[in-house]
Amino acid sequence: MLLIDTHCHLDFQIFDQDRHQILERAAQNKVTRIINPGTNIETSKAALQISTQFSSVSAAVGIHPNEVLDLDKSTLQKLRKLSNHPNVVAIGEIGLDYYRNITPPDKQKQRFRVQLDLASELDLPVIVHCRDAYEDTINIISEWQSSMGSAPNPGVFHSFSGLESHMNTILDKGFYIGVTGSITFNKSNNLRDIVAGLPLTKILIETDAPFLSPQPNRGKRNEPAFVRWVADKIAEIKSVTVDEVANSSTHNALKLFGWNN
């Protein structure tokens, strides 16, 4: 059994003191690959730097919707340059976030479109952040796909928290669904119901560490090794073995992010 954590912020300061040990624990728990997405230029650079230090880590580069006011032509060029590194496997995390209203929605939408176009230009998949903004996010992706003529590389809706109708539309667009430790939370019955109907062929598993630590560690720092608990819960919900979940989600990640093995 091999696992891939498709979303983990190893560059965050909370990991500075024991990053090596965290990756050792991940390996001990069969987590063979980890994707570290960026949220701005500095964290994108940090993600790429970590990927050059640890062979199990790949990077994604992008500007989070709460930080897109900093995305100008100069920043976009920096993203383009970072993306040329072979360790970069996606553009992300990018998208829309209406939860805290940190950035005006019109600015978020415009910068989301710009980064989707960058992904098309570079032939990279996207890691989509969507919080309280599913209708607008899906509409922008629909427009983007239509404008391409031929379907661009799809991506993943990271840490999915939408409705079943959103899931179905996202799957129709060719995207994967990212499932986190939130599936283990006591109040996540709706999410568990949705995952029960989600095909294994469209699931990616992730920690979003240091956030969303699964039960029984909720409230504590999350880490890639805990992605096994996400796989365990999915297996329980879908009445399959954890090996089936691991094999399918790993295959999906290898396919989406262009890894050969």
The pLDDT tens digits for 22-49 are 999 999 999 999 999 999 999 999 999 9
Q: Does residue 209 carry a pLDDT above 60?
A: yes
* pTM of the predicted protein model: 0.96
Q: Does residue 261 carry a pLDDT above 60?
A: no
* pLDDT at position 216: 86
Alpha-carbon span 206 to 214, nearest angstrom: 11
Q: Does residue 260 carry a pLDDT above 90?
A: no
The answer to whether residues 68 and 95 touch, using CB atoms and an 8 Å cutoff, is: no
Q: Identify the CA nearest to 213 among candidates 199, 227, 202.
A: 227
Q: Does residue 152 carry a pLDDT above 70?
A: no
* pLDDT at position 151: 60
Q: Tell me the average pLDDT across 239-249.
A: 98
* pLDDT at position 222: 98
Burial (CB < 10 A; 0-12, 13-18, 19+), residue 155, is buried
Helices (H) then strands (E): counts for the chain: 9, 8
DSSP string, 217-250: STTSPP-GGGHHHHHHHHHHHHTS-HHHHHHHHH
Domain 3-256 fold is TIM Barrel (3.20.20)
Q: Does residue 231 carry a pLDDT above 90?
A: yes
Q: What H or E segment, with its residue span, contains residue 57? A: strand 57-61
Helix (H, G, I), strand (E, B) or coil at 186: coil
DSSP string, 141-163: HHHHHHHHSSPPP-EEETT--S-
The pLDDT tens digits for 84-133 are 999 999 999 999 999 988 999 999 999 999 999 999 999 999 999 999 99
Distances (CA, A) of 176 to 40, 66, 76, 83, 111: 23, 23, 26, 21, 22
The pLDDT tens digits for 4-20 are 999 999 999 999 999 99
Alpha-carbon span 76 to 150, nearest angstrom: 24
Domain ranges in the chain are 3-256
